[in-house]
Amino acid sequence: SQQGEEDPQALSIQEGENATMNCSYKTSINNLQWYRQNSGRGLVHLILIRSNEREKHSGRLRVTLDTSKKSSSLLITASRAADTASYFCATAGRGDKLIFGTGTRLQVFP
């Protein structure tokens, strides 16, 4: 199965700035999810957006989904040093399998 592409591969910003990451995928989906990974450890689920939704918010996170362009974006507002991590999008089609994107490494400087 093919992975989605994420850009940028790496992003460095200052605390307080917003961080935007983009994800593109190839096949039809039921939902798209974003996960966070700290320093090569386990992944933590952040947010899920279903194929019939266009935008979703959770705290400082805002996710958009454009199924016509097969793309999604994750916006983290007012970033903090603790947001430093790798962020992965994952698509779910029929069944329970997730297909992960290539990931964005975010570095937030104090």
Query: What is the contact surface with another protein in residues (CB under 8 A)?
Result: 1, 3, 30-31, 33, 35, 40-45, 48, 88, 92, 96-103
Find out whether 65 and 54 touch, Cβ atoms under 8 Å: yes
Q: Which is nearer to another protein, 6 or 108 (CB)?
A: 6
Provide the token pair at 48. 């899920």
Measured from the CB of residue 35, what is the shortest distance to another protein in angstroms?
8
Q: Which is nearer to another protein, 3 or 22 (CB)?
A: 3
Measured from the CB of residue 22, what is the shortest distance to another protein in angstroms?
15
Find out whether 50 and 110 touch, Cβ atoms under 8 Å: no
Find out whether 85 and 106 touch, Cβ atoms under 8 Å: yes
